[in-house]
A and B are shown apart, each in its own frame.
Chain A
Amino acid sequence: MKAGSQPARPVQIDRQDGHSPLWLGFPDVDPLGRPALAVFSSLEQSLGNRLLIADEWLSSELPIARARLIERVRNGHRIFCFGIGAGARAALFFGSVLRAERVITWAPSAAPGAGPLDAAAVAMAYDIASSPPPPHLTSSALTVHITSSSDTVDTDIALARSLRPAVGIRLDRIEGIPYSALEQALAQTNYLSRMIEAIDHGRPLPKPHHLQRSWLSAFAHQIALDPALSPSEEGGFALRGTLRNSSPKAFSIERFERDLIRVGARIISPGDDLTQPRSARFSFGSGALQADATLPFWLEVPREAVARGFEARVALVCEGRFWFDDHQFPNATLSVSADVLQKWSAK
């Protein structure tokens, strides 16, 4: 996967007061090869000018990225690095290079082909960690935090074992959430803000036990389908419905677009391969969906499916990553037989 095919949203703030830790976020790579920024936007409020998005690691050669980062953190006396997946490996690598105080990672072994850093390169950085730091960076004891998603436990442990033993490595696990859904779960909850607040105040870090439950609450929504189909301009049928925001806060539709979140349908007709459903998508556009408000959508059911009858299962989807209804979020289904369709067509 190649990064940088589309420009990253500029969320870079370089100033800080020199006493509070500077948080360096290393973006993962999204399914389109772009820096994945969802997780950082939820932190702008809590971190303000202490947040620095280190996306150069994806677009520059590593020595150049290293030099740029050293320059950017010149006034940072305390540095914390964090990231998910490929971004987590970057956080580990540059955390060692920059003599960070903490490196906080989620699923660092995930997305093995994404970005220029693999686990072996990360381990090598820890082998040479005894080399003197750049003179303006303080040397401090490094704590590494690895939280594994449900599908990265074994490979994360292998990566942890490759790091130098003098490092203290905190291990956590999230049983209910795989890597593909991790960034959205973190972005849509206040888990990261709580973690930062805990570190700022010297309190124990929050446990990830409740992340899935928080996510279900923070991103609660309902999907309803209109049982009446209407012919579409493309020769199929338009399946209409509404998305209701049943969470306590507004959904940002801009973020949906940036994070490739859409309404999707998996459409199966009799005789189809169940593992290869036809699909349809609806993109929201812009604006916000306030708490308790609804947003209409429509999906094109293709002509081929209509002729034989179909079942459409509709849910939110994060393109290239996961379907929300695979993680206890709701879906809505509509089954229509060929006979009924013929009657409707005859009207």
Chain B
Amino acid sequence: MSAAPRHFEIEQAGEAWRQLNNPGSSQQIKEARFQLPAWYRHDLDPLGTPYRDQQLALWRAITGRSDYQPDRDEETPEVARLDPIRRPGLYSANDAMVAGDHLMAMGHILKISGLTARQRPRILEYGAGFGQIALTFARIGFSVETVDISAHYCNAVAASSEHYKVDLTPYIGTFGYNPAGQSHAYDLVFFYESFHHCLDFQSLVHRLAELLKPGGKVLLAGEPIVTNAPDIMPYPWGIRLDGENIAVTHARGWMELGFQEEFLVRLFETAGFRFAKHPCVNSHYATVYEFVRPE
């Protein structure tokens, strides 16, 4: 019988980070949960500005930083040390299970995209990181653009593009930036482990409808979208309260949000999308949320 998870106060985020890096206590922190501070209000409208401001206040309490700036707080400088061709992120974790999760997710995204070269599709990935899925689409023969706030990640994508001589172009930019410069240019916009870093996801969802061609789709995978996890996600959306996430947020400053599935799906449907869920029993990273913009 496993022990009940430990509960921490937000003020203990730094201590959680230290314990996470200690092999003796690492697992305990991963299973731990954080409690919301006493000042947190549960009666706010999740679509309203006060709710968003309250989440930012929670982020400040966890990180000790004064204001959230994605170009600074979402940075991953160690990426510059990795070889983007031979050992991009999914391989450099030195863990077959990690690589397997990512590769299954990649396969599922590719398959559910339903695209063929005959359609000459144009694809956009937000928060692409090393852009391995984008690269695979490009190697099939599609035109692919990526947007990431990190210049280091974009540089890695540029290196892959040059190495494989494919139509893959990275842009340094924020969520919602449109490299095409015109509306309704894309057949597919996808996010892999990135949508949950977007604080202004509400406006982004509406923006996605503008980016897509009629019949185009948005795919989300590897996202913390939960159906019943009140200890981690006790609100429609917000910072995830599991121990590892709070510890990492404290140390890195990343915006690590999560979503209740019902809330997020309704948001997309309100923006005019049609929803389908493609679960994967082998890896939750490969569960794909598909949102189609009607013809």
Contact = CB atoms under 8 A, between A and B. Distances in A.
Contacts of A311: none
Contact of A157 (B152, B171, B178, B179): B152
B9 interface: no
B172 A168 contact: yes
A74 interface: no
B167 A207 contact: yes
A171 B155 contact: yes
A168 to B, nearest CB: 4
Interface stretch (A10-18, A159-167, A182-190): A159-167
A340 to B, nearest CB: 47
A208 B166 CA distance: 10
Contacts of B83: none
B170 interface: yes
B171 A168 contact: yes
B110 interface: no
A168 B158 contact: no
A170 B169 contact: yes
Interface residues of A, number: 23
Contacts of A166: 174
A171 B182 contact: no
Interface in B167-222: 167, 169-174, 177-179, 181-182
A168 B155 contact: no
Interface in A146-179: 148, 153, 157, 160-161, 165-175
Interface string B59-86: 0000000000111000000001000000
A160 B172 contact: yes
A168 B179 contact: yes
Interface string A202-235: 1011011100000000000000000000000000
A164 B24 CA distance: 43
B260 interface: no
Nearest to A210: B165
B171 A170 contact: yes
A165 B171 contact: no
A64 B69 CA distance: 35
A143 interface: yes
Contact of B71 (A148, A165, A170): A165
Interface in A224-258: none
Interface stretch (B90-98, B143-151, B267-275): B143-151
B167 A171 contact: no
Nearest to A176: B162
A263 to B, nearest CB: 32
Given A171-B154, A173-B159, A209-B165, A165 B179 contact: no
User: Of B143, B149, B158, which is in contact with the most chain A CB atoms at under 10 Å from its CB?
Assistant: B158
A170 B167 contact: no
B70 A165 contact: yes
A164 to B, nearest CB: 8
Nearest to A209: B165
Given A157-B152, A207-B161, A202 B174 contact: no
A46 to B, nearest CB: 21
A169 B167 contact: no
B171 to A, nearest CB: 5
Contacts of A169: 151, 154, 171-173
Given A143-B181, A165-B70, A204-B143, A170 B155 contact: no
Contacts of B174: 165-166
A160 B173 CA distance: 11
A209 B172 CA distance: 20
A88 B81 CA distance: 27
A119 to B, nearest CB: 13
A2 B163 CA distance: 38
A168 B71 CA distance: 12
B170 A170 contact: yes
Contacts of A174: 162
Contact of B182 (A172, A173, A202, A207): A202
A171 B171 CA distance: 6
A202 B179 CA distance: 12
Nearest to B177: A168
A204 B143 CA distance: 9
Contacts of B143: 204
A173 B158 contact: yes
A209 B171 contact: no
A92 to B, nearest CB: 14
B151 A168 contact: no
Given A160-B172, A173-B159, 9 more contacts: A160-B154, A165-B149, A169-B171, A169-B173, A171-B154, A171-B172, A175-B162, A204-B167, A207-B167
23 contacts: A148-B158, A153-B155, A157-B152, A160-B154, A165-B69, A165-B71, A165-B173, A168-B147, A168-B173, A168-B178, A169-B172, A171-B155, A171-B158, A171-B170, A171-B172, A172-B158, A172-B162, A173-B155, A173-B158, A173-B159, A204-B143, A207-B169, A208-B162
The 10 lowest CB-CB distance pairs between A and B, nearest first, are A165-B71, A169-B172, A168-B173, A161-B151, A171-B158, A209-B165, A173-B158, A173-B162, A168-B177, A171-B154
